[in-house]
Every structure is written in C-alpha cells, then in structure tokens.
Amino acid sequence: MSTITTPTRKVGFVSLGCPKALVDSEQILTQLRAEGYETANSYDGADLVIVNTCGFIDAAVQESLDAIGEALSENGKVIVTGCLGAKKDAQGDDIIQKVHPKVLAVTGPHALGEVMNAVHLHLPKPHEPFMDLVPAQGIKLTPRHYAYLKISEGCNHRCSFCIIPSMRGDLVSRPIAEVMLEAENLFKSGVKELLVISQDTSAYGVDVKFRTGFWNGKPVRTHMTQLVAALGELGASYGAWVRLHYVYPYPHVDDVIPLMNQGVVVPYLDVPLQHAHPAVLKRMKRPANGEKNIERIAAWRAMCPDITIRSTFIAGFPGETEEEFEYLLDFLKEAQIDRLGCFAYSPVQGATANELADPVPAELREERRGRVMQLQETISKQRLQARVGKSLRVLIDEVDKAGSAVGRSAADAPEIDGVVYVKAPYEPHRKLKVGEFVDVAVTASDAHDLWAKA
C-alpha cells in the first residue's frame, strides 16, 4: 500500500521595524498559514525567506540591507517587503535592487497581495486552504496577552522630516466593522491589552468622510471617538485594556479624555509633539501645529488627573536656534510630560527638511538631545517618586522561577516605557501568571521604573 504525502512548503520570516511593520508581518504570516505554508526557524530549513524591512532612518536601512544580505547568502531565495522596498536612492533607483540584485521580488509596505503573488510564483501553494485551521485572530508576533491593532495605513500629512507618506501613501482607514471584528477575535483569544496604532490615530475616518458602518447591528461612524468608545466597551467586557498611540492634539481628542477618566480606555495618551517652538513646528510642517499644547495638556489633566502623557521630540532640527531649543526646554519643564523620547535630528534621505537652511551640526544635535534627556530624567524621577506608597493595577509580562514578576501599569506601554518589578507574593501557593492583572503596592522608584509588592 502506498500513501500520498503532500510536500511541505516552508517559509522563513525576518520581521524588522515598527509596530506598523509588525502588523504587516502578522498579516503575511496569517495568510501563509491559511494557505498551508509552514514557517521555518532557520535559513537551512526554509524553501524561501521573506524579509520585512524598515527604511525610516539610515541605521534602520543598513540593518535591513544586512538582513537581506544574510538571508541571500544563507538561503538564496529571498522576497523583500516593507518600507525600504518603496525607497529610492538619490539617482531614483530602487535601493534594494541596486545593493542586492539577486532578490526574487521587492514590494513596498502593506502589500499582502503582492507578497503572496511573489510567494506563489517562487514556491507554489502546498494545498487549498483549510481556513478554519488558522486561528480567528490570525498569527501574532507579540506575546499572547497583548496585541497591536492597526486601524489605518498611510498618512495625509507631509511633515518635512518624514518620508513615510512617500512609502506608505495617503491615509486609508480600515472599515470600522473590520477593525471591531479583529479586536473581538483578539480579546476572545486571550489578549488583555490592545494597542491601537496607525500613523495618525486622530485622523481615522477622514478619508472616508467618517462614513457610517455597523457593529453588532448598531450604526457606528468611522471616527476616532466612536471607535475608541466601541473598543473600550468591548475591551471592558473581556476585562482588557485598550491603549491609544500616535494621537495628534486635534480638538476632538478632548472627547476621548472623559472615556479615560471613566476607565473605558486606559488613561494614556501617546502624542508625538516633536517640538514646542511655533517656528520650528512650522518648518517641520507638523499637523495641529497651531494648537496651544501647554493649555491642552493642562486641560487633559484637569479632565483626567491620572492621565499619562507620552511624547517624542526632535532636537537639532534644521535651523533650530539656541533660543528655539531653550523654548523647548521651558515647555518641557512646564508640561511635565510623563514619558518622553528624544531623537537628534537625522537627515533621512528624501526628506524635504534636508533642504532647509542652517542645518545644525551633528555634535550639537546630540548635545541638545542629551540636554533634553537629562531634564526628562529629573522630571520622570519626580513623577514616579510621587507614586511610591500608592496602589496600582499591573499587567504581568514575565514571571521568573522564584515567582517574582515584571509587569506594566496603565502608564507603561510595552517596549517603549518603563516597567513595574513585582516582588513574589507572600502566599506560598499564589504564583503570578503572565497576562494576569494584579493590584500592587508601590515601594520604590527610579527615573524609569517602579518596584512593588503584590
């Protein structure tokens, strides 16, 4: 008797870049699994390798090019996707094709269909899909208890330091019913924290004129505030957190703050401000650059005293004078931002800001970045110190053999903020679990993290 065996088709996957690229990787992996492909853990075991690249700053470009080179030498059959795939050099030539002409195919970001076409061409489908073998929430690259939810792709702004719109195109909002269904599947699968991402979360629905969709038989508009309310309500029914990233300070964002105060969504707002001086913001062509951000932040804190504000800034933007930089420092002293990242300006190839007059020398850019971070260290230390002695709800991310754990409070997004180190509970039979919410008492702090006991 003979048996017929279907040959397996194995695809290796290298995922680089930001959470938005990670979501693209998850969608490709989900589709591969749905079509019966397997994933390989080594170059040797793979029939083909997909590299999802990042092209944001020069260091990321180099890392992506190195990863492609490694995949080519170790495996030989390589498909490239992601932001670097859409990037051209100064001569207008495709960067990847120029450095690595042997790659099988190159696509830009958010190109599931094109990537799958290239896969089918070079590694035919193993069999017809058994869609029900794929988990409804798709394949996730994050730990099981948290997940990113991408609500839109692309961006309508043209910030002068950024090349994302040229790589990812204009804003395209996902239909609200599709977003809600994905959120529901994630919660059902055990996700305890949903991180809403996009290039500009506040702009959700602008491209479709805030069209009305339907969720659970009820009309709901494709609009940030309605989406946040619906996600918060859904998350609460599963005992899970919903956290918002990349929110620009438009007036309608004020409508979301009461939802944070009511506990519908986590009181955490990630608002990338990039600078404070009006002239620099104008040169940066930032969205909402006319908003009075100090007043807005004060109003948000009045509406929701527990709110954590995270932001990012750029030091040494072209033309930044010492006076403009000190204006930024004064702003930071007054704004008392809880979580802050600061980058020295990096002249990304293709960004219009590179043509602005009076570029700041690299050394001075770094020095200014250092001054921002030094100031922030003092601010953060004081703000975290104020939490000592208080109780907090923490979501556990890791547990060691002795039972001590690392978790995060509502004030800490994964990967980018601080953590809460939780001492093992005293009860001998009570071991903390990953993905569990625990109430802890804060015992100590430093400039980034907290220590607590369960």
Of 200 and 397, CB closest to ligand SF4: 200
* Nearer of residues 158 and 393 to ligand SF4, judged by Cβ: 158
Q: At what angle do helices 362-385 and 322-335 cross, to 10 degrees?
A: 10
The structure tokens listed for 331 are 């702003």
Select the span of 134-142, 161-169, 401-409, 436-444 touching ligand SF4 (CB under 6 A). Answer: 161-169
CB closer to ligand SF4, 95 vs 162:
162
According to DSSP, the residues that pair with 50 across neighbouring strands are 13, 79
332 in contact with ligand SF4 (CB under 6 A): no
In whole angstroms, how close is the CB of 280 to ligand SF4 at the nearest point?
Answer: 14
> Using CB under 6 A, which of 287, 318, 407, 414 touches ligand SF4?
287
Shortest Cβ 200–ligand SF4 spacing (Å): 5
Give the nearer residue to ligand SF4 in terms of CB position, either 55 or 213: 55
Choices 115-123, 138-146, 162-170, 180-188; region in contact with ligand SF4 by CB under 6 A: 162-170
Strand partners, 106: 80
The Cα 109–Cα 95 span in angstroms is 15
Q: Which stretch binds ligand SF4 (CB under 6 A): 32-40, 48-56, 153-161, 431-439?
A: 153-161
Q: How far is the CB of 155 from ligand SF4 (least distance, A)?
A: 3
Query: CB-wise, 249 or 287, nearer to ligand SF4?
Result: 287
User: Minimal distance in Å, beta carbon 55 to ligand SF4?
Assistant: 13
Instruction: Give the nearest distance from C-beta 327 to ligand SF4 in angstroms.
Output: 21
Interface with ligand SF4, residue 157, by CB under 6 A:
yes
Q: CA quadruple 310, 225, 188, 199: dihedral positive or negative? A: negative
State in angstroms the smallest separation of the CB of 289 from ligand SF4.
Answer: 11
Q: CB nearer to ligand SF4: give 157 or 371.
A: 157
Of 164 and 230, which has the nearer Cβ to ligand SF4?
164
Residue (24 or 200) nearer to ligand SF4, CB: 200
> Which of these ranges, 34-42, 67-75, 115-123, 160-168, lies near ligand SF4 under the rule CB under 6 A?
160-168
Nearer to ligand SF4, 25 or 202 (CB): 202
Q: What is the 3-state secondary structure (H, E, C) of the chain?
A: CCCCCCCCCEEEEEECCCHHHHHHHHHHHHHHHHCCCEEECCCCCCCEEEEEECCCCHHHHHHHHHHHHHHHHHCCCEEEEEHHHHCECCCCCEHHHHHCCCCCEECCCCCHHHHHHHHHHHCCCCCCCCHHHCCCCCCCCCCCCEEEEECEECCCCCCCCCCHHHHHCCCEECCHHHHHHHHHHHHHCCCCEEEEECCCHHHCCHHHCCCEEEECCEEEECCHHHHHHHHHHHHHHCCCEEEECCCCCCHHHHHHHHHHHCCCCCCEEECCCECCCHHHHHHHCCCCCCCCHHHHHHHHHHHCCCCEEEEEEEECCCCCCHHHHHHHHHHHHHHCCCEEEEEECCCCCCCHHHHCCCCCCHHHHHHHHHHHHHHHHHHHHHHHHCCCCCEEEEEEEEECCCCCEEEECCCCCCCCCCCEEEECCCCCCCCCCCCCEEEEEEEEECCCCEEEEC
Part in contact with ligand SF4 (CB under 6 A); list of ranges 154-162, 235-243, 347-355, 439-447: 154-162
Which of the ranges 38-46, 155-163, 229-237, 288-296 carries the binding residues for ligand SF4, by CB under 6 A? 155-163
In the list 159, 197, 280, 411, the residue contacting ligand SF4 (rule: CB under 6 A) is 159
Select 206 or 303, whichever has its Cβ closest to ligand SF4: 206
Number of residues that bind ligand SF4 (CB under 6 A): 10
Is 165 near ligand SF4 (CB under 6 A)?
A: yes
Q: Is 164 in the site for ligand SF4 (CB under 6 A)?
A: yes
Residues of span 185-244 touching ligand SF4 by CB under 6 A? 199-200
* Tokens 């089918």 sit on residue: 120
Q: Is 171 in the site for ligand SF4 (CB under 6 A)?
A: no
345 contacts: CB under 8 Å, gap ≥ 6: 161, 314, 315, 316, 317, 318, 320, 353, 360, 365
Of 1-9, 152-160, 222-230, 416-424: span binding ligand SF4 (CB under 6 A): 152-160
Nearer to ligand SF4 among residue 79 and residue 163 (C-beta): 163
Single residue of 155, 260, 351, 438 touching ligand SF4 by CB under 6 A:
155
User: How many Cβ atoms sit within 10 Å of the Cβ of residue 101?
Assistant: 8
Residues that bind ligand SF4 (CB under 6 A): 155, 157-159, 162, 164-165, 199-200, 287
